[in-house]
Structure 1
């Protein structure tokens, strides 16, 4: 249903380091940066697998309370996402594991990014 979405980030360098690592672990990568002459001088970058689905925009209007879940193809990818995100400056918000209160096959991991956004990798496959 959602074609793409995005969040504001306060520090493009920290955000890029974090999201390069976290997204790379689930098979996504930085696919596009928009030239600053089209963004009012702000850094804007899109991550995805085949097209930019998740956008980061440099902004002063950041804050916690946002939650974004990314599909992982396996539980091992969820584990790799969590480890990579933590190494890249993330803060634990729920280690990898089954979340049976959602669904018996719901395997997810939650990390707070450098701006306090709750990002998650989730796999719905039984393993």
Structure 2
């Protein structure tokens, strides 16, 4: 079971704003945030549902190659809201909302590239 994960980003402020908007559409917010003066090395923000940061954004050299992170949501409407919010926040389309039947008949996902090219997805596995 995965407890948490994160991505290194080149522009912390820009990525923080992107993820705040994109993940806010699926109920995530900043749960914890620490400046370099506290961590001893870099700025970090932990996003998640209230009370539990499970996705961290870390100022640094972006992961190469870019990584893929998928957030499971409860409805197709949340997938759509994530996609709209991520695009409005500067994300780039990497596959709009829709069924991906090659995974399974109810796989409904949307993919965006964050400011550093990481492939970020929201996915619902429930029937429409």
Fold equivalence (TM over 0.5): yes
Q: Give the number of aligned pairs.
A: 127
The residue that corresponds to 1:39 in the other structure is: 39
Contact 1:94–1:109 at 8 Å: present in 2 too? yes
Q: TM-score, normalised by structure 1?
A: 0.95
- Give the equivalent residue in structure 2 for 1:16: 16
2: CA distance between counterparts of 1:61 and 1:93? 18
Which residue of the partner structure matches residue 126 of structure 2? 125
The residue matched to 1:95 in structure 2 has which SS?
Answer: coil
* Aligned counterpart, 1:70: 71
Superposed CA deviations along residues 45-75 of structure 1, whole A, max 9, x for unmatched, are 1000030000011002444430000011100
Change (3 A) 1:95 1:61: closer
Structure 2 distance, partners of 1:112, 1:40, is 29
After the TM superposition, which parts of structure 1 deviate over 3 Å for at least 4 consecutive aligned residues?
61-64
Unaligned runs of 5+ in 2: none
- Please state whether the residue corresponding to 1:65 is helix, strand or coil: coil
- Cα distance per residue 1:63-117 (max 9 Å; x no partner): 4430000011100000000000000010000000000000101000000000000
TM-score, length-normalised on structure 2?
0.94
Runs of 5+ unmatched residues, structure 1: none
CA distance in 2, matches of 1:53, 1:83: 22
